[in-house]
Amino acid sequence: MTTAIYPGTFDPITNGHLDLIERAGDLFDEIVVAVADRPEKNPLFSLVERVEMARQVLSPFPKVRVEPFTGLLVEFARAQGAKVILRGLRAVSDFEYEFQLAAMNRRLSGNGLETIFMMPGEAYTFLSSSLVKEVARLGGPIEGFVPPPVVEKLRERFG
């Protein structure tokens, strides 16, 4: 069984994330969506809220499990029995940082952890959680960018 870890802050989870997860489901036996506790990023939603939102919107995906994590990703991956980290690349500007992370994770794991990069579907190449939060904060339309339960949570947060 091949398990892939899809790490991120998912603050909040977007339709771009869902697109990547759905397509990765054809490649892997199990996908663990690893919701990172990253207080230095000043997330809008708490770790518990982000995990709950992800579990709610990913419940129709039988191959997907959502778990919170802290600490080193390589340690989390080892505990999950994963050999693959799944990452999305929206633009060339993402590549340099992601390349460095992939190399560090491989080194820290003793070469037992590979990173696979996937491009988002064309409809989501511009989409990021940060942009969605900004549009929501300014009262703009966010339907189509995030699943309906996330629309509700963002509307509640920004009133």
Question: Which residue ranges form the domains of the chain, and what is each CATH number?
Answer: 3-125 (3.40.50.620)
- 93 is an active site residue: no
Beta bridge partners of 8: 35
Which pLDDT belongs to residue 1?
Answer: 82
In the predicted model, residues of the chain with pLDDT beneath 50 are none
Which pLDDT belongs to residue 98?
Answer: 92
Kindly report, residue by residue over 101-141, the tens digit of the pLDDT.
Answer: 999 999 999 978 999 999 989 999 999 999 999 999 999 99
- Catalytic pick among 50, 87, 109, 129: 129
Please give the model's pTM, rounded to 2 decimal places: 0.95
Which pLDDT belongs to residue 47?
Answer: 97
- 90 is an active site residue: yes
Cα separation, 129 vs 92, in Å, equals 18
Which pLDDT belongs to residue 24?
Answer: 97
Which pLDDT belongs to residue 151?
Answer: 98
- Catalytic pick among 17, 50, 87, 153: 17
Which pLDDT belongs to residue 91?
Answer: 82
Q: Count H helices, E strands: the chain?
A: 6, 5
What amino acid occupies position 157?
R
CA–CA distances in Å: residue 25 to residues 18, 46, 63, 79: 11, 27, 7, 21
Q: What is the dihedral of CA 15, 55, 29, 74, to 10 degrees?
A: 90
- 128 is an active site residue: no
Which pLDDT belongs to residue 90?
Answer: 86
What amino acid occupies position 83?
K
